[in-house]
Structure 1
Amino acid sequence: MARPSYSVPTAEKVEMTEVERLADAQDANSQEHNLKFLDALRLYRKSVFWSMIMSSGVIMDGYDIKLIGTLYAQPAFQKAYGRLAKADSYQIPAPWQAGLSNGSICGQFVGLLLAGYVSERFGFRKTLLAGLSCIIACIFIPFFSPSLAVLEVGQIIFGIPLGLFQTTPVIYALEISPLGLRPYLTNYINCCWSIGQIIAVGILRGVVNMETEWAYRIPFAVQWVWPVIIIPFLFFAPESPWWLVRRGRLEDAKDVVKSLTSPKNVNFNVDKYVTLMVVTTEHERAVNSETSYGACFQGANLRRTLTVIGIYCVQTLNGNPLRGYSTYFLQQAGLPTVQAFNMTIVGFAVAIAGGIFSWVLLGLFGRRTIYCWSLVLMFSIMLTIGTLGIQQTESPKDAYPWAIGSLLIASSFLYNCSIGPLTHTLCSEIPSAILRSKSIVLARGMYVLTTIVAGVLTPYQLNPTEWNWGAKTGLFWAGGCLIAIVFAYFYVPEPKDRTTAELDILFGKKIPARHFARTQVDLADAVYGDDDDVKKI
């Protein structure tokens, strides 16, 4: 590996500069490991605040996804846009359900590709400001849509700025926080997603008995609230210090770190902290200086990219599309419309509780342990839901819909205390620093594609005028869980208590995923590699 070059007079001074840099980086690396949770919270109070502000944009994504899926079960929306299925009963045709659900997702795919370039070119703060500004204009289309066709166009256009929120907040959360806070702040993003969903269901539950067009226009209008609240805060938000280092703006990076940390902690050295960022970034550029999407599939980055792609796809495979249609699913499973809304609200309240409980699990177990065992439990739940669906078809009983609904709520709790939040944590930690944005964009893009496929299948699986599987759909997603379990065991590593530089070394040495936790790492490898002359220093 080539050593970094410096403008100094003699070779001896170069050697000493590298040794000093390594010492500073190792000191910062050790401080990262020694900084306990409460100490990190006191030192980085401002980081927590700004991370939560940035993450709040994800509420809009959760709200929009749940809004469309839940509107299919709303009588006023069904009557305005649907077709008469039987006496006094309207249904949105399954092709339109699939189209509307996937419309926003297709737009988000475009927004994702833009985010990978825009966020690295202009920074995370400006990217989110631009997205929020566009959203204000885009909401007018679904709000005034007179037909399903116009609503479809609105969903696609609205999805483009939403795509910017798929990756930017999670990377920002990781890059402005210390090692001890990263899992909690990245996990919080999943809570925001659940908050958006429960707000959507709660508002739709409040207007479910309205018979006018306002029953579905009010929920669309609520989307104007988020940009109005968030934009003023973002004007004052600091940029990511890692992004500033990647742009060569070291003094600006130091200023940001100073603004994010408490001056009361005299033991914290800003210069050494930024030096660790510099050493890590230079090491990654020495391995591969490219920062294009193609670079994500070269060398050690190939494994890292495929891993984060798989982790994001597991979000679909474990049955998330079924939970996304929970109100409609419970309605088709036999619950009255109002009770289906009530059960969905309970489900998302439990999801938020699961998100909070995930913070407890993070302190007790490793990421890989939680992730793998939660998939095993999810497989059992989906298998049970599918089995009850078969029983309900053969010999219907009033207890079956409630049992199915309870299991769906249990799966929501399980997902939101493990698989859901850990997706953001793992996928922000695993990629290299210089390819983090693009790796997550690619992973999220593949997730979008799997969601589009699931968005086509799920309406047909649940719609009584199509395949009419009902709760038997659980068996389909049990198969998805089984695939996810095999993937997780062989490919998901343990990044707990590992800095970005240490993960670079582990992936560079091709350590198997199941051995990450017990493999020792020497930070000198990140600076000197395997140069024999350097090992003598």
Structure 2
Amino acid sequence: MPNKPTSIHSHAKPIPLGHSTRPGHDNTILGASKQKTRYISVLPIVCVTVSWYLQLYSKLHNSARPLSLLSTMDSKIDVERVEDPSIEKNHAHLQSMARNATEREHNMTLLQAIKLYPKAVGWSLLLSTTVVMEGYDLLLVTSFFAFGPWVRKYGELQPDGSYQLPAPWQAGLYNGAAVGEIIGLFISGIVADRIGYRKTMLVALTMITALIFIPFFAPNVYALQAGSILMGLPWGVFQTIPTAYAAEVCPVALRAYLTTYVNLCWVMGQLLASGVLRALLTREDQWAYRIPYALQWMWPVPILVAICFAPESPWWLVRKGREEEAKQVVRRLTLRGADEDDEVHETLAMMVHTNEMEKELSAGTSYLDCCRGIDLRRTEITCLTWSVQNLCGSAFMNNSTYFFIQAGLDETNSFNLSMGQYAIGAFGTIGSWLLLSYFGRRTLYIAGLSSLFILLLIIGCTGLAPGSNAGAHWASGSMLLVFALIYNLTIGPVCYSIVSEISSLRLRAKTIVLARNVYNVFGIVNGVITPYMLNPIAWNWKAKTGFFWAGMCLLCLVWAVFRLPEPMGRTYAELDALFKQKISARKFATTEVDIFCDDPIEAPSKATNEE
């Protein structure tokens, strides 16, 4: 996914952090900045504490779930039930159906999956549309920093007669949204587990519809700051639920495409926002920035109405013991008129079998359970996989407008090239679908990091040229466009496939929440240090920033080589068995798994030893 851009500077002369040109206001602004920074730094701690209290409340008040008919057919039959041969027979029948469903998923081609699950594809694409909305909204936050009419409204007059929003407020608006997302993510993990994905999305869409009024009517930057934090709450929901939903309503053959489609939605939203701002550059009145805010209302209402008719995730229903409803949802997600009712029962049996396997491995479903036992390794992989997006130099990429301006281009051409960058990103994501079919997730991730490392070194070398060398500026700008292509071919989209597959089913929503919040923490750090790196009156690294990000990218590459496994073509039960047996990341792709033997958890070790 393309990261949320950090501050995009206008061609106005940058000003130091905390500095104001208005007489007598220097200390006031600096003090307010420090006070605001203290508040923002405390908020993540508060949200973690609240989430733990909610988890404790849930455990104390959650009544015991009734044992369903299918869930009694666990591979570990207790002593009392073993004496009943009919239950053993039913268990064997359940296991046989689950085996058939697993083999069918392994043998299913992409076209067969699309023909059999067109409704699942449609509903997944619908929920992912909320990410287009979020990509649009978040790009506005930083793009307005270089947008003349908006800066004249909310910025401050500079000695040279231009206007600019002080750097502390730039960081505050960007990081305020990130803090709101962290809180929203923690809450969404708890709420989605209790009421389901569909209802959680409906609540978030209702909230965002009301909260858009705040930036639209904001009289000053203080109101914008409040709106940025509050809108971050539903944005946090949109960052996780579409990915988890896509991974659970589609078969293995479609999983990589529907989860990586989320990255394309980010790029489409950013491209749309850039196009809207480019079209309004000639306007000088207040509607130049109010129209982009108002266009945010075109998303939530129609999506909300459509999601009212969307089915719940069948995997979530199985986890709640509502197998009959899950069976109806599976039938609803398949093509109408398909005469494979037996296949519906087999698919449901596979879900129940996988759920019971995971219950043996980890009975809990709290945030703390994500850091216990084998789930600790899965949480580490998902968290760092998503963090790589912020650690591989993407913050550098997302300040491309600044580089274009420094190369001597005017504001209009700079926005034109920014639109070109996002268009390249869209084509890159589509191209990644072709690569995923042949190379898998791990290979693309490692290849992408290797390529980005080389590009960042080249960009850093262009910074060694004299400042008057216009060719060096154009070279660094060109490398940024290539960076955008490689990033969206590999790291951007593949990340979504990995985080949705590596996490266990019972802890999926909460694991994705933790991963995205670690990503947001690094995003906040990027939002603070990137302006210093690029600002001529701060660190003034400019293109030499590429050396810093090349070093970070190299560290990410080393981690990926030794810790990132290949989940391509694996069912969730097979991934459970591989993690339980602690198979190394480099052997994931070659280890054979039989999850239907007498002891499926030990099956991988036998296959590995044979190698």
Superposition TM-score, scaled by structure 2 size: 0.83
How far has the Cα of 1:526 moved from its partner? 8.8
Q: In structure 1, which of residues 15, 20, 26 is the aligned counterpart of residue 93 of structure 2?
A: 20
Q: In structure 1, which of residues 490, 495, 498 is the aligned counterpart of residue 567 of structure 2?
A: 495
How far has the Cα of 1:525 moved from its partner? 5.5
Q: Secondary structure at the match of 1:209?
A: coil
The equivalent residue for 1:136 is 209
Q: Deviations over 1:364-404 (max 9, x none)?
A: 2111001101000011112211221221xx24223333322
The equivalent residue for 2:523 is 451
The equivalent residue for 2:225 is 152
Check the 8 A contact 2:82/2:88 in 1, yes or no: no
Q: Secondary structure at the match of 2:163?
A: strand
Q: In structure 2, which of residues 324, 347, 351 is the aligned counterpart of residue 277 of structure 1?
A: 351
How far has the Cα of 1:463 moved from its partner? 2.9
Task: Name the stretch that deviates more: 348-357 or 210-219.
Answer: 210-219
Task: Name the stretch that deviates more: 432-441 or 221-230.
Answer: 221-230
How far has the Cα of 1:138 moved from its partner? 0.7
% identical aligned pairs: 45
> What is the alpha-carbon distance in structure 1 between the residues aligned to residue 79 and residue 317 of structure 2?
20
Q: Secondary structure at the match of 1:441?
A: helix
Task: Name the stretch that deviates more: 197-206 or 394-403.
Answer: 394-403
The equivalent residue for 1:422 is 494
Alpha-carbon spacing, 1:199–1:25, altered in 2? closer, same or farther (3 Å): same
The equivalent residue for 1:475 is 547
The equivalent residue for 1:535 is none
Alpha-carbon spacing, 1:449–1:340, altered in 2? closer, same or farther (3 Å): same
The equivalent residue for 1:369 is 443
The equivalent residue for 1:514 is 586
Amino acid at match of 1:338: T
Q: Deviations over 1:400-453 (max 9, x none)?
A: 333222211111111111111111100000011000111110010100101011
Task: Name the stretch that deviates more: 439-448 or 458-467.
Answer: 458-467
1:442 aligns with 2:514: yes
Amino acid at match of 2:447: W
1:210 aligns with 2:283: yes
Alpha-carbon spacing, 1:526–1:489, altered in 2? closer, same or farther (3 Å): farther
Q: Secondary structure at the match of 1:524?
A: coil
1:70 aligns with 2:140: no
The equivalent residue for 1:466 is 538
Q: In structure 2, which of residues 213, 228, 239 is the aligned counterpart of residue 166 of structure 1?
A: 239
Task: Name the stretch that deviates more: 309-318 or 454-463.
Answer: 454-463
Q: In structure 2, which of residues 153, 167, 179 is the aligned counterpart of residue 94 of structure 1?
A: 167
Amino acid at match of 2:491: I
How far has the Cα of 1:496 moved from its partner? 0.3
Equivalences for residues 113-512 of structure 1 within 5 A: 113-267=186-340, 269-391=343-465, 394-512=466-584
Residue-pair matches, total: 529
> What is the alpha-carbon distance in structure 2 between the residues aligned to residue 152 and residue 5 of structure 1?
57
Task: Name the stretch that deviates more: 75-84 or 506-515.
Answer: 75-84
The equivalent residue for 1:534 is none
Check the 8 A contact 1:389/1:470 in 2, yes or no: yes
Amino acid at match of 1:293: Y
Alpha-carbon spacing, 1:530–1:78, altered in 2? closer, same or farther (3 Å): closer
Check the 8 A contact 2:323/2:348 in 1, yes or no: yes
> What is the alpha-carbon distance in structure 2 between the residues aligned to residue 203 and residue 526 of structure 1?
60
Alpha-carbon spacing, 1:453–1:42, altered in 2? closer, same or farther (3 Å): same
> What is the alpha-carbon distance in structure 2 between the residues aligned to residue 249 and residue 5 of structure 1?
22
How far has the Cα of 1:86 moved from its partner? 4.7
Q: Deviations over 1:155-197 (max 9, x none)?
A: 0011111110111000000100000000000010000000110
Check the 8 A contact 1:3/1:527 in 2, yes or no: no
Amino acid at match of 2:266: W
Alpha-carbon spacing, 1:127–1:191, altered in 2? closer, same or farther (3 Å): same
Alpha-carbon spacing, 1:525–1:166, altered in 2? closer, same or farther (3 Å): farther
Amino acid at match of 1:504: D
> What is the alpha-carbon distance in structure 2 between the residues aligned to residue 2 and residue 499 of structure 1?
18
Check the 8 A contact 2:442/2:565 in 1, yes or no: yes
> What is the alpha-carbon distance in structure 1 between the residues aligned to residue 150 and residue 540 of structure 2?
21
How far has the Cα of 1:491 moved from its partner? 1.0
Alpha-carbon spacing, 1:72–1:465, altered in 2? closer, same or farther (3 Å): farther
Check the 8 A contact 1:329/1:462 in 2, yes or no: no
Q: Deviations over 1:63-101 (max 9, x none)?
A: 122111211111222222223445233332222111111
Alpha-carbon spacing, 1:233–1:186, altered in 2? closer, same or farther (3 Å): same
Check the 8 A contact 2:406/2:473 in 1, yes or no: no
Alpha-carbon spacing, 1:231–1:132, altered in 2? closer, same or farther (3 Å): same
> What is the alpha-carbon distance in structure 2 between the residues aligned to residue 208 and residue 514 of structure 1?
51
Amino acid at match of 2:551: G
Alpha-carbon spacing, 1:329–1:115, altered in 2? closer, same or farther (3 Å): farther
Amino acid at match of 1:495: P
Check the 8 A contact 1:55/1:170 in 2, yes or no: yes
Check the 8 A contact 1:280/1:526 in 2, yes or no: no
Amino acid at match of 2:256: P
> What is the alpha-carbon distance in structure 1 between the residues aligned to residue 319 and residue 392 of structure 2?
36
Superposition TM-score, scaled by structure 1 size: 0.95
Check the 8 A contact 2:581/2:602 in 1, yes or no: no
How far has the Cα of 1:528 moved from its partner? 5.5
Uncovered stretches (5+) of structure 1, i.e. residues with no partner: 532-537
Check the 8 A contact 2:577/2:601 in 1, yes or no: no
How far has the Cα of 1:458 moved from its partner? 1.3
> What is the alpha-carbon distance in structure 2 between the residues aligned to residue 526 and residue 397 of structure 1?
70
Check the 8 A contact 1:6/1:14 in 2, yes or no: no
How far has the Cα of 1:3 moved from its partner? 0.7
1:104 aligns with 2:198: no
Q: Deviations over 1:239-261 (max 9, x none)?
A: 10000101111010010010110
> What is the alpha-carbon distance in structure 2 between the residues aligned to residue 446 and residue 198 of structure 1?
26
> What is the alpha-carbon distance in structure 1 between the residues aligned to residue 267 and residue 157 of structure 2?
33
Check the 8 A contact 1:46/1:261 in 2, yes or no: yes
Check the 8 A contact 1:404/1:471 in 2, yes or no: yes
> What is the alpha-carbon distance in structure 2 between the residues aligned to residue 400 and residue 239 of structure 1?
53
Q: Secondary structure at the match of 2:469?
A: coil
Q: Secondary structure at the match of 2:588?
A: helix
> What is the alpha-carbon distance in structure 2 between the residues aligned to residue 54 and residue 383 of structure 1?
38
